[in-house]
Structure 1
Amino acid sequence: MEYLVLDVGGSAIKYALMNDELEMLEKGKVPTPHDTLDNFKNAVHNIYNQYKERVDGVAMSLPGLINKHTKKVQVPGALTYNLDVDIVKELQAVTTSRLTIENDAKCAALCEVEHGSLKGTDVGAVCIIGSGIGGGITIGDKVFTGTHGFAGEFSYLSDDWTKKEGFDGKWGYDGSALKLVAMIAKAVGKEPKEIDGLQAFEYCNQGDERALSALKAFCDTIAMGLFNIQATVDPDKIAIGGGISQQAILHEYTQKSLDELYEKMPIPIPQVQIVPCTYYNDSNLIGALVNYQKIYNKK
């Protein structure tokens, strides 16, 4: 059986024709519309039209939060036109009734617990470090979503309760990849717009002490959030994803910062295992299909 799977991101809608073995038979992408809901629906409709005669249904990974009670988008992420919209109903109208949507980070968690780094865990967590920190908590082979679907929204964790305005002092801002690039740029005497993530890590991997000092400060913030997640759900493993997670030095410094927290505890608490996500750019696509299979194929 074949499926159309879409991963909606801030810049592009990635899509793939996939089968039950999770093989990607065809792949492509189109720009994500940022102006109107109608243009977003048209983009999805046009992709679906290419495959509608071949697929069993549509599985989608989408930024934001769909409230489990109202069925409407409560937190739209970058796609602000989705706010207070029954997005499943809207997209089913231009595709098929067999359409499922799950939050992008929750899809990554489903991918990892079914096929990746969290497979076989009793309790796990995924942290996707990007423009914020996407998250998911897994219990067995299921993602725990909470009462409204807000569980695992790690971006909203506070790392400084003296800052109460908006995202000030919130982990999703202070622990974002954008924040790290800005910190490294400042440390090496550059403007944030002058370097990208790869260039920032070049400084670190070349042993630039200024960049490494900034990386250490950033990883202290990451470790604080991981420590709080551990104290809350006691996972077997926490898998770190996102583009910067492919940098080995990030894991090295994060582990170092977490070890320092453990060493300063007066009692020997359990220590969580920090691992990289198995899947990177394809995790949302795979997780979206896993979600579809669980709903329609009862896997």
Structure 2
Amino acid sequence: MSEWDLRKLRILRTLRERGTVTATAAALHMTPSAVSQQLTGLAAQLGVDLLEARGRRVRLTDAARLVLAHTEPVFEQLERADAALAAYARGDAGEVRVGAVPTAVPALVVPAVRALRDSHPQVSVRVRETEAAEAYRLLAAGDVDLALSLAAEAPSATDPRFTHVPLLADPLDVALPPDHPLASAPGLALADLAAEPWIYGGSGPWSDITRRACEAAGFSPHQGHSASGWTAILAMVEAGMGVALVPRTAADPRTAVVLRELTADRPVRHVTAAVRKGAAASRAVTHTLNALTTAAERIGRS
């Protein structure tokens, strides 16, 4: 196999563009004798004549043109590599690993990834769906670069390991069976559902959020069924097995469940992003945070 010397190939390419050895030397800040020496060496390496004399000038041989035709894609790819490395050095390129609670993935992460494809295509996002508290453990361990979770599960704001970015106050609506007597009642309040069987997880943040919301409305909820996944919860509500508090970002229009906005005692859950201290200096992370913030603002306006 022939020896391919990129530096010498660039000189040959420049000669094709400039036309003379003197002009080539000036463009590359070389002496004419150095240009001639490098091209002679390249011809020896490749085993073909690259130049032929035309009076006091030289011209490229057919072999030289063949060489350049095949090496042009190499130069193009190297230009792309240079651009990618420059973007990486600036922080405009790279992978951002995001650990996110299930409801945040379709509501926030997916819209952010779509936006980044247009605004910063060299930033790639790798998503890991996780539970709320686990997202912060993964962040602390360095397994993700950005945690998208519930503020209720977040470490203290004074924790020196993290920087927190509030994203969304996600309203909680009441999910009722389609034939529930209060499905169309005006002015629904949580206290109106005090005698209902409630569906929520046996433990974890959603259990705490449901209990606290009901207790703030003046009653302790009776847990009729235990489930942690929104598909299961909404399916049981649709079947008339109970009622549930559902974040607006978890609503599924494919079900027949009636979602009612509460006019009083309206609870919310707060979704926050967190990064390790200092990580926000990475422009790739900053671009991702900005895209998530924009996605959250759109939800807030809807």
Same fold (TM over 0.5): no
The structure carrying a bigger helix percent of its residues is 2
- The TM-score normalised by the length of structure 2 is 0.28
- Which TM-score applies when normalising by structure 1? 0.29
